[in-house]
Structure 1
Amino acid sequence: MPRTTHRVGAALLPLLLVIAACSAGPSERPAVAYHDGEQQVVPAPQPPKPAPVPPLGSPSDDSLNWEDCTERTRGELGDLPAGLTFSCARLLSTLDAPESPERGTARIALIRAGSGHVPLVVLGDVGGEPGTTFAARLATQLPPELRNTFDIIGMDRRGTGESDPADCVPPAQRDAIVGFDPRATDRTALDRLLESVLQASQECLLDLDERLQAYDTWRTASDLEELRLELGVPRLHAIGRGEAARLLTTFAERFPGSVGRLVLDGAPDPTRDSIGQVESQAQSAEQTFDTFAADCVSRGCPLGPDPRKLVSDLVERTRATPLLAPGSPVNGGRVVQAMLLGLSDRATWPALAEALAAADHGDGAKLAAISAPLVAPQGVNPPWLDGDLITSCNDTTLRVPPQRSSELALDWVNRFPLFGGAAAQRMVWCGSWPVPQQPLPSPRRPDLPPIPVISTANDPLLLGMGSDHMAEQMPTGVLLRWQGAGHGAVGRSPCVTEAASRFLVEGTVPTDGMVCPG
């Protein structure tokens, strides 16, 4: 006897299609319920309201073993404000490598300054100076009311500084990556960079083994939660500069109940993918250089009436003929990297101009000194490149094919002649790197407290519009704009520093869209 299932299904199909068509898409009508035979409109669920500004909380009662390190810090920074002392400690956190979830130990270096006893964690870019050095330096620039209210706490992020440092890239590959031709665009040339990165990744895998993929922002967020617990405070207050803002938004998504008063001092653009973010960095660096050049001319600096032409010619010459300098020769790539570092702090612009002028006369020593931290150890701290390379590649799932890298390089070198090539090369860095299991979460929680987000008009590492987008995408973001130049406004702009201080100390939320002069 034949089965009739298919004929019944065929008969029902038109009816099902009609029903599906009628019910496709979300209904805009309120939900209806029946009670005792009567219809009742059920109110639509309301999204969570933003949390109020959290209280500061009581002073910490931490279990960390702090030891005085003032003299050591003085050796790094030079003169310190009278009465400012520093102490150092080490946090033991869970490594949580992909091969051994929730196992292993990560040893995190910490520093503390101030006399307020309420912790305020300060975090900087993973590709910059170690977090403890950054926090100590910022502590000397913060107003007394912040230092009297808070203990400023810095943390070397995983694989940087003294937090299980990643010192695994061979020196030859390190020099090749940092000094790579900033105007290379053809596939053959970029393949040489890819080979250097491949050798670097192989050596790091041999040296770090399972730790390699545990150095990322996702797991560093859990270090912050472990730090909060060890400090004995109900919520964590923090400032994150630049790329570290993404660490704080990841922390907020993972541990929303632990979020205190957070300030994002510049932030990567959450609306753009990895390629778009790096492209915007090249655009912002060009824009910041133009501001530097105009400032240079107005001061009568040694770069003459057209600093861009002088520097462009310098880069072109050093592509073929590097300048002799202590350590390793200064080629076009090192010139560009030194400029990115020098542009990050407006206070160093005169020194950057002098270094570029000296290089134009054949002396590369000053540019070599500016870019040295990328490739050479600085005291007990390893070169900055290693931690930057590992963390940035562990944080993105994007892997750009070689042909696409060549296309990006050609496009960006034409559009961003000083910095486009170096930006495109960052896309090559991760080509041979293991792909992480998941991307970082987007900052979308609506139930967090207000979070000020500061954008800087001329930041060589972050396009100001990207920070604007971060404030817009975060349901509780509050935008402040600084019309100045450099990487980071807190501690540099009196207007921004005062607004951030009032928020952190008093809980006063800045006016959304507030603008501070340059």
Structure 2
Amino acid sequence: MQIRRPHPTRDPGDRSRRPHARPHPHGVRAAGVLLAVTALVVPACSTGGSTSSASPAAQAALAALPQATPDALAPYYGQKLNWRGCGVPDFECATLRAPLDYAKPTEGDVRLAVSRKKATGPGERIGSLLVNPGGPGGSAVGYLQAYAGIGYPAEVRARYDMVAVDPRGVARSEPVECLDGPDMDTYTQTDLTPDDGSEQSALVDSYRKFAEGCGADSPKLLRHVSTVDSARDMDILRAVLGDERLNYVGASYGTFLGATYAGLFPKRAGRLVLDGAMDPSLPARRLNLDQTAGFETAFRAFARDCVQQPDCPLGKEADDVGANLKAFFEELDRRPILTGDVDGRRLGESLATIGVIAAMYDEAAWAQLREALTSAMRDNDGAGLLFLADSYYERDADGGYSNLMFANAAVNCLDLPAAFDGPEQVQAALPAFEKASPVFGEGLAWASLNCAYWPVAPTGEPHRIEAKGAKPIVVVGTTRDPATPYRWARALAAQLSSARLLTYEGDGHTAYGRGSDCIDRTINAYLLRGTPPADRKRCS
């Protein structure tokens, strides 16, 4: 499952992909599939206790690589980028070469798309600032060109070259492909709350078909799209750009990528901001359970707000909102409603659930969600919820999909052993997931099954990241973050030897650039002057 934020506040009638005024979709690694909602949850844990349910491997910390660059990698570290225009004013693009397999660096390359916007001045240039919006599977190049390169604070863009690289297997960097548009439509409409053996079999078949499609398209690449691989690619990019240290802002899954870089190259880690942090010490099932609880926390905040609005379609009391929404989902499971979609898609429980969860990423989308729910519940018009789900899946008006969901599964299923081995394990875990979220728990549990059928064995394990010797790293957590629960930020900050925990007391996924002057000033001071916040600083 992934944890990213779509564009929920756009008008459903607007199919242009114009960026929202707030940060671009963020994501997070997850073991489920279809949902941003997909799967995670567990009761609160202490800052230092996050490894208690992890495998024995999680007791070990990620080991730093040797300082010296191996001779076999010298051609990659010494390459020159051929910058060219890329159709977006003020941005340049280039292609970076990296070894497909770092264990066998002479046996083939992977080509990675890079983009940058040079520092505009005034003021002395600090260096390059690499950005990543999360996913896994989110296009960092798209994020840079649509948001970060024009929407980051002017003083940051003045002093840094803004840079992005699409991780291997993502978007412009040899993208993994799994299903065509019609098959993805079928996949996204598969019932995630199976009522009997036949529906369970249909769900398993959909996961198998998805996995088989990915394996047929990219049999070699699928073995080399791990987060460690992408972190090593970032070090090649750092060297090619001429930077002694990597400066970086990563959101959601991008925090795991950034923390992994710090763990592998602590002496080369510069000013790192990890916003909407993940806990790398947790196994997939625990991650999914934690995230399920995170979405429940966000939904309760939505419920409290909804009943105070005159147009709330889910009742007058906050305690009734969840039960009323669950009843609506069950009705859609029995009788999907029309959407006006040119391809004839109806709104069933799975798409409606994703539409609701998509809006949990940003409280600015709550009004749009109320309107969409009102249309669906009172007028049998599912267009608004379908639009939210399509935004989450990055489905365009012509029925095509970006490779976001394909890359998301490819990275997640390689990084960690599967959350569940089969339907029987999901069934056994359902009570815990439904306790974590009475509304979303069942669907999120079943969404965590997809990696069970992946064609490539996982190469990663849960582990701590200490990054001993790194300069101060800013870890940011939002107290009611739906996708990366606040406890994960506490846990990562406790692991990183030089971390400074910065807390945003509020709603939504991630904090930088989302309206808190306190957060923005603090992070800007760190990026521009190298001044980290006092540990455990809190903002609202």
* Residue 394 (structure 1) aligns with: 414
Match of 2:284 in 1: 274
Pairing partner for 2:531 from 486, 495, 508: 508
Distance 1:340 1:472 in 2: 29
Which residue, 423, 434, 447 being the options, matches 2:444?
A: 423
Matches of 1:260 and 1:212, distance apart in 2 = 30
**SS of residue matched to 2:262:** helix
Structure 2 counterpart of 1:339: 356
Higher relative contact order (CA 8 A, sep 6+): 2
After superposition, residues 211-226 of structure 1 pair within 5 angstroms as 211-226=221-236
Change (3 A) 1:152 1:381: farther
Q: Secondary structure at the match of 2:466?
A: coil
Identity %: 26
Q: What count of residue pairs does the alignment treat as equivalent?
A: 443
Specify which of 305, 312, 318 is matched with residue 316 of structure 2: 305
In structure 2, relative to structure 1, the CA distance for the partners of 1:399 and 1:348 (3 Å cut) is: closer
Which structure shows the higher helix fraction? 1
Q: Please, which of 149, 154, 158 is the counterpart of residue 144 of structure 1?
A: 154
Name the TM-score, length of structure 1 as normaliser.
0.79
Amino acid corresponding to residue 70 of structure 1 in structure 2 = V
Deviates more, 1:478-487 or 1:113-122: 113-122
The one of 463, 474, 483 equivalent to 1:452 is 474
Pair 335,243 (structure 1): closer, same or farther in 2 beyond 3 Å: same
Per-residue CA deviations over 1:368-424 (Å, capped at 9, x if unaligned) read: 222224163589972421111111111112452221122123431344122212321
CA distance, structure 1, for counterparts of residue 432 and residue 460 of structure 2: 29
Task: Tell me, yes or no, if structure 1 residue 405 matches structure 2 residue 426.
Answer: yes
> In structure 2, do the counterparts of structure 1 residues 115 and 481 end up closer, same or farther at CA, with 3 Å as the change threshold?
same
Q: 1:441 deviation in Å?
A: 4.8
Cα deviation code 1:44-103 (max 9, x no counterpart): xxxxxxxxxxxxxxxxx97341415336xxxxxxxxxxxxx43333322222288x6553
- In structure 1, C-alpha distance between the alignment counterparts of 2:228 and 2:195, rounded to whole Å: 33
Asked whether the equivalents of residues 139 and 170 of structure 2 are also in contact (C-alpha less than 8 Å), the reply is yes
Deviation per CA, 1:298-354: give whole Å up to 9, x if none: 343443525434422221111122222324322111112122222212222222222
Cα separation, partners in 2 of 1:127 and 1:271, compared to 1, 3 Å: closer
1:165 Cα deviation (Å)? Answer: 1.6
2:108 counterpart residue number: 104
Distance 1:96 1:231, change over 3 A: same
C-alpha distance in structure 1 between counterparts of 2:533 and 2:216, whole Å? 49
CA distance in 1, matches of 2:137, 2:366: 17
Partners of 1:127 and 1:423 in 2: CA distance: 18
C-alpha distance in 2, partners of 1:108/1:352? Answer: 37
Q: Give the 3 Å change call, closer, same or farther, for CA 375–490 of structure 1 in structure 2.
A: closer
Q: Say if 1:451 and 1:477, in contact at 8 Å, map to a contact too.
A: yes
Q: Aligned to 2:395, which of 345, 367, 376?
A: 376
CA distance in 1, matches of 2:522, 2:237: 26
Partner amino acid, structure 1, of 2:502: L
Match among 77, 96, 102 for residue 91 of structure 1: 96
Q: Please tell me whether residue 153 in structure 1 is matched to residue 172 in structure 2.
A: no
Cα 1:465–1:186 change in 2 (3 A) is farther
Mapped contact 1:228–1:236 kept (Cα < 8 A)? yes
Contact 1:184 1:409 in 2 (8 A): no
Q: In the alignment, which residue of structure 1 is the partner of 2:367? A: 350
Residue 67, structure 1, aligned to residue 85, structure 2: yes
Q: Is the 8 A contact 2:81 2:96 kept in 1?
A: no
Q: Shift in Å at residue 108 of structure 1?
A: 2.0
Rounded Cα–Cα distance in structure 2 between residues aligned with 1:275 and 1:262: 28
- Aligned-partner Cα distance in 2 for 1:266–1:432: 29
Q: Distance in 1 between matches of 2:397 and 2:113?
A: 16
Which range moved further: 324-333 or 175-184?
175-184
Alpha-carbon contact 2:191-2:203 (below 8 Å) kept? no
How far does residue 452 in structure 1 lie from its aligned partner after superposition?
0.9
Which whole-Å CA distance do the structure 2 matches of 1:392 and 1:160 have between them? 13
Instruction: Tell whether the 8 Å contact from 1:185 to 1:406 is kept in structure 2 after alignment.
Output: no
Query: What is the aligned counterpart of 2:513 among 486, 491, 494?
Result: 491
2:220 is paired with a residue whose SS is helix
Cα distance, 1:508–1:112 mapped onto 2, change above 3 Å:
same
Q: Which of 484, 489, 492 in structure 2 is aligned with 1:470? A: 492
CA 1:346–1:140 in 2, change beyond 3 Å: closer, same or farther?
farther
Give 2:457's aligned amino acid. V
Does the Cα contact within 8 Å between 1:126 and 1:160 map onto a contact in 2?
A: no
Q: Secondary structure, in 3 states, of the residue corresponding to 2:218? A: helix
Query: What SS is found at the alignment partner of 1:363?
Result: coil
| Larger-gyration structure (1/2) | 1
Given the superposition, is the C-alpha separation of residues 107 and 305 from structure 1 closer, same or farther in structure 2, using an over 3 Å criterion?
Answer: farther
Identify which of 343, 356, 363 aligns with 2:381: 363
Q: Work out whether residues 194 and 431 of structure 1, in 8 Å CA contact, stay in contact via their aligned partners in 2.
A: no
Q: 1:107 touches 1:164 (CA, 8 Å); kept in 2? A: yes
**Shift of the alpha carbon at 1:126?**
2.1
Q: Indicate how the Cα distance of structure 1 residues 142 and 335 shifts in structure 2: closer, same or farther if over 3 A, else same.
A: same
How far apart are the structure 1 equivalents of 2:150 and 2:369?
23
Answer whether contact 1:64 1:231 (CA < 8 A) is retained: no
User: Are the structure 2 counterparts of residues 470 and 311 from structure 1 closer, same or farther at C-alpha, using a change threshold of 3 Å?
Assistant: same
Q: Which residue of 2 aligns with 1:200?
A: 210
- Correspondences of 1:10-21 after superposition (within 5 Å): none
